[in-house]
Structure 1
Amino acid sequence: MSVIELRNVVKRYDTGGEVVEALKGVDFAVEPGEFVAVMGPSGSGKSTMLNVLGLLDVPTEGTVLLDGRDVTDLTDEEQTEERRRSIGFVFQNFALVPTLSAIENVELPTLFAGDGGGRERAEELLRRVGLGDRLDHRPTELSGGQKQRVAIARSLVNDPRILLADEPTGNLDRATGESVLDLFTELRVERDVAVVAVTHDPQVSTYADRTVRLVDGRVQGE
Structure 2
Amino acid sequence: MTNLIELQHVWKRYDTGGEIVEALKDVDFRADPGEFVAVMGPSGSGKSTMLNVLGLLDTPSEGRVLLEGSDVTDLSDQEMTVQRKQFIGFIFQSFHLIPTLTALENVEVPTLFGNDPAARDRAETLLERVGLGDRLDHRPDQLSGGQKQRVAIARSLINNPRILLADEPTGNLDRKTGRSVLDLFDEIRLEDDVAVIAVTHDPQLAEFADRTVNIIDGRIQ
Give the TM-score normalised by the residue count of structure 2. 0.99
Structure 1 unpaired stretches of 5+:
none
Match status 1:130 vs 2:131: yes
1:114 Cα shift?
A: 1.9
Q: CA RMSD for the aligned pairs? A: 0.5
Partner of 1:202: 203
Partner of 2:213: 212
1:6 counterpart letter in structure 2: L
Partner of 2:51: 50
1:73 counterpart letter in structure 2: D
1:102 Cα shift?
A: 0.3
Match status 1:190 vs 2:191: yes
Partner of 2:145: 144
Match status 1:95 vs 2:96: yes
**Distance in 2 (alpha carbons) for counterparts of 1:112 and 1:64:** 26
* Divergent runs of 4+, >6 A: none
**Distance in 1 (alpha carbons) for counterparts of 2:117 and 2:27:** 40
Give the secondary structure class of the aligned counterpart of 1:206.
helix
Give the secondary structure class of the aligned counterpart of 1:147.
helix
**Distance in 1 (alpha carbons) for counterparts of 2:112 and 2:67:** 24
Structure 2 unpaired stretches of 5+:
none
Identical counterparts, % of pairs = 74
Give the secondary structure class of the aligned counterpart of 1:151.
helix
Give the TM-score normalised by the residue count of structure 1. 0.98
Partner of 1:18: 19
2:138 counterpart letter in structure 1: H
Partner of 2:72: 71
The size of the alignment, in residue pairs, is 220
1:113 Cα shift?
A: 2.3
1:172 Cα shift?
A: 0.1
**Distance in 2 (alpha carbons) for counterparts of 1:17 and 1:117:** 51
2:84 counterpart letter in structure 1: R
